[in-house]
Structure 1
Amino acid sequence: MAGESGIAEVDADDFARRYSMRAANIMWLLGAGASAAAGVPTAGEMIWEFKQQLFLSQRKVSAKSVADLSNPYVRAQLQSFVDSAGNLPAPDTPTEYADLFEAVWPNEGDRRTYLDGKLKGAKPSYGHIALATLMKAGLCKIVWTTNFDALVADACAKVFDSTSALTSIHLEGQSGIDEIFRSERWPMEVKLHGDFRSRRLKNTGDELRQQDAKLGRVLQDTCLRSGLVVVGYSGRDDSVMDTLVAAAKQKGAFPSGLFWLHRGDSQPLPRVTDLIATAAANGIDAAVVRIDNFEEVMRDLIRLTTGLDTTILDAFASERKRVSAVPIPSGTRGYPVVRLNALPLQTIPTHCRRVQCKINGHAEVRAAVEAAGTNILVTRVKAGVLAYGSDADVRKTFEPFGISEFDLHPIESHRMRFDSGERGLLREAVSRALARTLKLRLVHRRHTDLLFPADVNDALWSDLKSLVKQLSGVVSGHPELRWFEGIGVRLDWAGDRLWLTVEPRTVFEGATQENKAAATDFARERTVRRYNKQLNDLIAYWAGVLSNGGEELRALNIGAGIDAVFKLGGDTAFSRRIRS
């Protein structure tokens, strides 16, 4: 399936199934994002810290004024400062991290001190322990990483009960790389941090330049024999990306596939999409996989991989479980909590229709629905085609493909824990139910559906208008670009149940590549001053609307067949600090 960028994308559950069959011949490349759950900041987070440091040192203002780096207003202020400097990199350029790092701390020793402080106290996360578990089973031989941290080594020491089981190769001071690879001292971790992370390549000596070139050649050679999964890595380092692109052009490269795991709905950097496109053009099974985070991916892979000794992993998961249900606070002096933007799904469908017929993937199933002109909701999983709708419409859609089975399929909770085909079907169904029942328009996106008022002049939306002042309009200078006050919704799993996550959004009609920047700027300016109170009021408003007074929400409202029926709770989730 092609994503918005035009390159192939596969769902997380599809990737997990492919990986379970190919794991023994797949390497991993870890970036900073894979260490986020362990307390190590990502490259993106550090970029904002660099901008903050430059701003504070040159503008000489109070640190409190730009302390909250998650605040859109603070980010806009910092970015405006960076843009005005004239000699600093533009956002999301390949050298943004490196250029800003050197601009803040030109001295290499200072950069190392900064990084040492960020790594201090970091401990392996579930994802690292799971990866080490695969290593011990011989299902992961090589891990490449651009990270400084020792989290993979620490995880291996825990799982193997030994500090000598893992072979580590790093840029500085490592000799005989070819011999180490020839001797197959698995499992192995190779640190690729010699170009941008520890010191800029232009500042290194000839010996380190040669060593970096040698590591790049070894990486390219191994890509000709093994598949690769990339996670937590943005693709900003030219030296690494050049090597992967060179490998992707080789005949027979990545024989077990090339999978780039990417968080969120934003598009990967152009260098990443170019890599995937190059690989696919060369006949490689290459795709972007949209994920929530490294931890959830590893849980899915461990669940589908048979024969693993998960004793250490299970004990680790039990030790690290820090979330438990607590009573809803009451009164005016309840314990301090943080309100979250998630509504509980109190009722979800227990089953759907299952059809076995001669039809291929999800795209073909969608095309069949469009060709038949039927009002049904469908997905394609290993068990067959899953559907909601009238039986007559389901049969009309798939009879041309020779229906061999037509029965029920249970919606089981354990498959709701990850981004499965069933969960995707339920998300589409609950979005459809909300749109149909509450007079909302629906824009279906890959991971987050967008909802906004069908008629902004309807008195139904007067309370929303009082909160945000204006519900729709046209972006100045772009008459083709219309905006609406709305929300993004998706399904998430937490605390052994499904939640509908709600995020106030500005939704656009008429967006193109040419006006994308104008839309982004407009959305930022429109929401930049929405602080805690304003966002709390908006979440409270939408919680009341979406819960529909506790009444049922029906996706199709059909009289015969199988409909998807939901009930949403009106109390949002909340969090409190755990007591030791």
Structure 2
Amino acid sequence: MTDLVLPLDAFVRSVGINKSIPHLFFVGAGASITSGIPSAERCIWEWKRDIFLTKNPGLEEQFAELSLVEVRQRIQRWLDQQGNYPSEASPEEYAFYIEKCFPIPSDRRAYFQEKVREAKLHIGYKLLCHLARIDLIRAVWTTNFDCLTARAAVEGITPVEVGIDCQDRLPRQLRKGELLCVSLHGDYRYDFLKNTSDELQQQESQLRRTLIQQLQDSPCVVIGYSGRDLSIIEAFYEAYAQPGTGALYWCGFGSDDVPKQVIDLIRVARDKRQFAYYVPTNGFDDLLIRLALHCCKGEQHKYAKQTIVNLVDNTKYKRMAFAVEDYDTETVIKSNAFELECPSEVIEFDLKKWPKEQVWSWFRATIRDHPVVAVPFRNKVLALGLIDDLKNVFRENITGRIERTPVTDADFFYEDGAVISLMRQALVRVLAKRADAHTDGKAEIWVDTEPKRISEGNQDYYANESVLIFLRSIGSRQYLLLKPTLRIFDTYGNPAPLEVTKAIKMRLLGTQYNHKFNQAINRWRGRLFAGDQSLVCFEFPHNCASAFRFKVRRAPIFAEIGALTRRHGISIPNATKRLVKHHGYHLPEPQLSFSNKTASGYVKDAHPIRGMINNRPFDFALTQKGLASIVRLGVICPQAEMRLLRDYLCKVMQRHRPLRSDSEYLLEYPGFGNAYGLPLEIAEPDDTSWVTCPEPKTSNPMSGARELASLITQSINNLLAKATPHVLLIFIPNRWREFRGYLTNNECFDLHDFVKAFSVQRGVATQFLEEKTIFHADQCSVWWWLSLALYVKSMRTPWVLDSLDPDTAFVGLGFSIDPAAQRGQHVVLGCSHIYSARGEGLQFRLSKIENPIFRGRNPFMPEKDARRLGETIRQLFYDAKLRLPRRVVIHKRTPFIQQEREGLCEGLSGIDNIEMLEIQIDHALRYVASVWRNGKFDEDNFPVRRGTTVKLDDLTALVWVHGTTSATDQKRRYFQGRRRVPAPIVLRRHMGESDLRTIAQELLGLSKMNWNTFDLYTKIPATIHTSNEIARIGSLLDRFGSASYDYRLFM
């Protein structure tokens, strides 16, 4: 079909070069979706659901999200079982279901009246009429009832509306400034609604003749129309089966699933005229924006740009400052951050000859063993040190004057910026010198007194106490961060291999809990900031009477945590109060919603396992009503492990007790049926649902990985040809472990992701099971996690959130880039995944970022790409809810640059409150919890509580999604994972006006909505996790665009 496709950019240029020729636009329901009018397909599903729910009352909650694939599948299965409904996607569905749902004609009329009344014109229709002003468009024909083209008519354009009852207007000659608007299916303002099959076949002949006549000589652009109406598509066939000069451009969303009748029509047109193409687009609005910006010149171009800008009220760009009210003090938490004052100026000069590559490495090598530090910055050298020393290092390579230049607050904004790097190198060197310690000259300082001897892999190593130095900008102040760690050496004094270092750090630092971490910080304070003065001054170079001075406060900063519930507060001692720089509060644990055991109501519990055991999954009503009464498991396994795996899978029905070490959170696994309220049907080795996967013939890890991927995908095809399991379990024996993937300079391959991408496109969920898991000591955990995966991947819903704002929706933005691609040649894939107010992952859309902006390795979107992504999100909302939510919260791992903020706001125009939040886990900033004891604060054994929220500055806050909680037992404290001290999420607001408490509570809630784990929570919200997972695996899909898959297939 590639010979029939015209790229979008080429189409825009074609229209532009022929803009003196008036074009005919044929507009379908897809063009009106972003204006709030449902597509024909969406209407059909809405009617199907209404029929289903009125015949099956009590299931409204389970079928609320009509955009989910499994919801539609369950409705369709029920309809098919009745035996008197048309098959899915058959041509007669539209006419059949509207009559079945609303047999009274006035009800059909009222249905569409309501939709049209709520519609709000979006940018596409406005620019359509703007193109009519420059006479590029003379006629708009449509199958829609909404009259949006006429409503969008701007000054200088007069719409001439034609319907079935006023066809006499057709013959008259249009004057300049008039736009013909023809409604082929009638118009409810003037006519009886023509939308059933009998009525469609009775289309007035004059309308048909005129359409055919205009298609003969006018270039026709079809957009938003699937070609589902037989009478209309036949008129197209009749027109293009005759010779003519009018080109045909059939514009669809993406290049996937082009209707057969459209392909056939283009081939027919090609036989009689030269120009007929299918044009893959990003939707109606994006197409009209591109056409308007390309075809309009001068004042008209300015008008088009202003129309786009006017989509967004400037007040939408507001960034309200976070605020924390005064609460009774519950506790204080102590940071590892110390107030820092850096030199106010640096030395700047230029070089005659710069290195051609690896500039930073060259600088590090050049200054090694010299009492200076220097970094490259905007074709200049920034440095600290004595002038004579700098001249001695760079010698005759210095050109021009050596000058002092001031540093500003903006220079400290980026953690990985040149000025931060320069200051950190200087600090590390001078601190190590003062403490008589060792340093790498970049970030780490260590001592070699009393090293700890430890064995790893049958070899002895020495672990030396060390500390990592970081600089942070919080508000208008700079801070020095101390993060204790270890420096590992072998017995010869050489640095240990990376894998060994990681393993030893995991063992030794994992148990460095709250009080031990605090003690380690205090030891480094004593070494680095020795003395009695509250403010310590360092000069660089050390003891050289240099003007470059650093000043550090010996005491770290504290945060005061208030109690939201009224209680008798703690009075903070004056010595501590003066160190309190930030304030916050502690938020309660979000509740989850489950079904009761009779499926007659819902029950709340914060603990997902306890909620499941004491009640039933949220969607238990589907099981109770017989709509989804079993989970069928298919198996792909090598021959040698067939018996091993079969015997293991039989244990899914058995009880498994938790290990004693896990008993504070984990509850006894009661067997699949008792946990989820329905049976699990497991394939037997001689069943059609069990397929034996052949062994790879090669032992080479790279070629073996590719071969194994091919063998597994072939096995999937073989199984699906004979059976219809809900989930496929793929067993990976230990001997296949070396085939799990590889990474070279030119290629990255991951077996799991490859198989996932293959399976997603076939609509089947997969679950990998490794042999080592079978022999894991903690089988209670294994079966809880594995059983949950099987239940969720069978498209079931275990729980939802109980407490979020029903008029809020969430969006996770994730990006995927090829790690092996050269700079500037990356294919960047963006994923926008929307979540409901109940925390359910709904639809997502994958799209290529056409012109990514790279800052380091992070991709960002220019305004046009961001606007297109916003339009995509907008359409997803209409697909899911038939309306825009009042408030949208967008989560992203990286900052929202200005182009992204403006573009997203343009694409999401009409939404009252848009929040853009950067979500990151800080790798350096830590706080330790304290306990009030004997009239003073003392170090606690447990870390900071989950739900603790601290405002750092007007636009930045910390939220402890990971931390201590009493959700499992009100009388005991639980710390998930029990490793060291938890890192807070750093929350940065780039746009929005919601209060901090609401935003933080939403983050806590969404951290409980990753259905791929039975943990109490995950360390990041599900929005961030799934969007990045989908983007990574989605980059391997053969196709993407309008294709929509349930995100559970990616788990």
Contact kept, 8 Å, 1:195 with 1:239, in 2: the verdict is no
Give the 3 Å change call, closer, same or farther, for CA 74–480 of structure 1 in structure 2: closer
Identity percentage of aligned residues: 25
Give the letter for the 1:528 counterpart: M
Structure 2 partner of 1:463? none
Letter of the 1:69 counterpart: L
Could you tell me how far apart the structure 2 residues matched to 1:211 and 1:563 are? 53
Post-superposition offset of 1:188: 0.7
Give the total of aligned pairs: 396
- Structural mapping, 1:474-493, within 5 Å: 474-475=716-717, 476-478=719-721
Compared CA separation, residues 55 and 261, structure 1 to 2 (3 A): same
Match in the other structure for 1:283 = 273
Aligned-partner Cα distance in 2 for 1:128–1:304? 17
Q: CA RMSD in A?
A: 4.6
Which residue identity does 1:294 align to in structure 2?
Answer: F
Is residue 528 from structure 1 mapped to residue 795 from structure 2 by the alignment? yes
Q: Which residue of 2 aligns with 1:198?
A: 193
| Aligned counterpart, 2:110 | 113
Structure 1: how far apart are the matches of 2:17 and 2:799? Answer: 47
CA distance in 1, matches of 2:91, 2:233: 10
TM-score (norm 2): 0.34
**Cα offset, 1:77, TM superposition:** 0.9
What is the alpha-carbon distance in structure 1 between the residues aligned to residue 729 and residue 323 of structure 2?
36
Residue in structure 2 matched with residue 507 of structure 1 by the alignment: 757
Return the match for 1:555 from 817, 821, 829. 821
Amino acid at match of 1:507: A
Q: Is 1:246 matched up with 2:238?
A: yes
Specify the alignment match of 1:85 in structure 2: 82
Contact 2:218 2:246 in 1 (8 A): yes
Q: Is the 8 A contact 1:89 1:95 kept in 2?
A: yes
- Mapped pair 1:142 → 2:432: no
CA contact (8 A) 2:92 2:197 kept: no
Deviation at 1:49, TM superposition (A): 0.5
How far did residue 458 of structure 1 move? 8.8
Contact 1:249 1:282 in 2 (8 A): yes
Name the structure 2 match of 1:339: none
CA shift at 1:283, angstroms?
3.1
- Aligned 1:377-392 pairs, distance under 5 A: none
Residues 915 and 993 in structure 2, CA contact (< 8 A), matched pair in contact too? no
Question: 2: distance between equivalents of 1:88 and 1:295?
Answer: 35
| Residues 153 and 296 of structure 1, relative CA distance in 2, 3 Å threshold | same
Q: Is the 8 A contact 2:65 2:71 kept in 1?
A: yes
Q: Is the 8 A contact 1:31 1:234 kept in 2?
A: yes
Separation in 2 of the partners of 1:77 and 1:267? 23
Partner deviation per Cα, 1:260-303 (whole Å, 9 max, x = no partner): 11113431222112111211222331111111111111111112
Specify the alignment match of 1:52 in structure 2. Answer: 49
Which of 309, 313, 317 aligns to 2:308? It is: 317
Aligned to 1:295, which of 282, 285, 291? 285
- In 1, Cα distance between the equivalents of 2:219 and 2:714? 48
Task: State the secondary structure of the residue aligned to 1:290.
Answer: strand
SS at match of 1:188: strand
Query: Which SS does the other structure have where 1:576 is aligned?
Result: strand
Q: 1:110 to 1:210 in 2, by over 3 A?
A: closer
8 Å CA contact 1:93–1:236 kept in 2: the answer is no
What letter corresponds to residue 309 of structure 1 in structure 2?
Answer: Q
CA distance in 2, matches of 1:306, 1:256: 22
Does 1:170 find its partner at 2:129?
Answer: no
Q: Name the residue aligned to 2:215.
A: 223
Q: CA–CA distance in 2 between the matches of 1:288 and 1:531?
A: 43
1:368-383 to structure 2, matched below 5 A, reads none
Residue 215 of structure 2 contacts residue 246 of structure 2 at CA under 8 Å; is this kept in 1? no
For residue 61 of structure 1, report the CA deviation from its aligned partner: 2.9
- The amino acid that maps onto 1:9 is V
Query: Which of these residues, 227, 234, 257, is aligned with residue 226 of structure 2?
Result: 234
* Deviation, structure 1 residue 219: 0.3
**Aligned mate of 2:205, from 213, 216, 220:** 213
SS of 1:141's equivalent in the other structure is: strand
Residues 311 and 195 (structure 1), Cα distance of their counterparts in 2 relative to 1, 3 Å cut: closer
Q: Between Structure 1 and Structure 2, whose CA radius of gyration is higher?
A: 2
Query: CA deviation digits over 1:224-276, x for unaligned, max 9?
Result: 11111011111111111000011110012xx2421111113431222112111
2-side partners of 1:284 and 1:543: how far apart? 42
Offset, 1:92: 2.3
Distance in 2 separating the partners of 1:309 and 1:231 = 23
Partner of 2:452: none
Matched residue SS, 2:103: coil
**Deviations, residues 68-111 of structure 1 (Å, cap 9, x unaligned):** 11122211111112222322222222222221111111122111
- SS state at 2:84 partner: coil
State yes or no: 1:568 paired with 2:834: no
Q: 1:306 to 1:541 in 2, by over 3 A?
A: closer
Partner secondary structure for residue 277 of structure 2: strand
How far apart are 1:305 and its partner, in Å? Answer: 0.8
Partners of 1:95 and 1:236 within 8 A in 2: no
Structure 2: how far apart are the matches of 1:39 and 1:542? 23
Please give the alpha-carbon distance, in whole angstroms, between the structure 2 residues aligned to 1:301 and 1:61: 49
2:15 alignment partner AA: Y
Question: Using a 3 Å threshold, how does the CA distance of structure 1 residues 195 and 114 change in structure 2: closer, same or farther?
Answer: closer
Letter in 1 for 2:47: F
Cα deviation per residue 1:109-128 (whole Å; 9 max; x = unaligned)? 11110001111132321111
In structure 2, how many angstroms separate the alpha carbons of the residues matched to 1:270 and 1:289?
A: 15
- Whose strand fraction is larger, Structure 1's or Structure 2's? 2
- Any idea what the Cα deviations from partners look like across 1:444-476, whole Å, max 9, x if unmatched? xxxxxxxxxx99x999xxxxxxxxxx9995142
**Aligned mates of 1:234, 1:320 — CA distance in 2:** 28
1:167 is aligned with what amino acid?
V
Relative distance call for 1:11 and 1:184 in structure 2 (3 A) is same
Counterpart amino acid of residue 857 in structure 2? K
Q: Distance in 1 between matches of 2:42 and 2:797?
A: 21
Residues in 2 aligned to 1:531 and 1:328: alpha-carbon distance in whole angstroms: 37
Gaps of 5+ in 2: 325-695, 703-711, 731-739, 741-752, 767-791, 802-810, 827-853, 860-891, 897-913, 917-991, 995-1051
* Equivalent residues of 2:163, 2:187 under 8 A apart: no
Answer whether contact 1:37 1:125 (CA < 8 A) is retained: yes
Q: Aligned pair in 2 of structure 1 residues 15, 474: CA closer, same or farther (>3 Å)?
A: same
Q: State the TM-score, normalized to the length of structure 1.
A: 0.58
Provide the C-alpha distance between the structure 2 equivalents of 1:295 and 1:189, rounded to a whole number of angstroms: 19
Richer in helix (by share):
1
Q: Judge conservation of contact 1:231–1:260 (CA < 8 Å) in 2.
A: yes
Contact 2:185 2:195 in 1 (8 A): no
Q: CA deviation at 1:137?
A: 1.0
Structure 1: which 5+ residue stretches go unaligned?
A: 332-453, 460-469, 487-502, 535-539
Bigger RCO of structures 1 and 2 (CA < 8 A, at least 6 apart): 1
Instruction: Give the direction of change, closer, same or farther, for the CA distance of 1:273–1:105 in structure 2 (3 Å limit).
Output: same
- Quote the offset at 1:312 in angstroms: 5.0
Structure 2 Cα separation of the partners of residues 96 and 568 of structure 1: 46
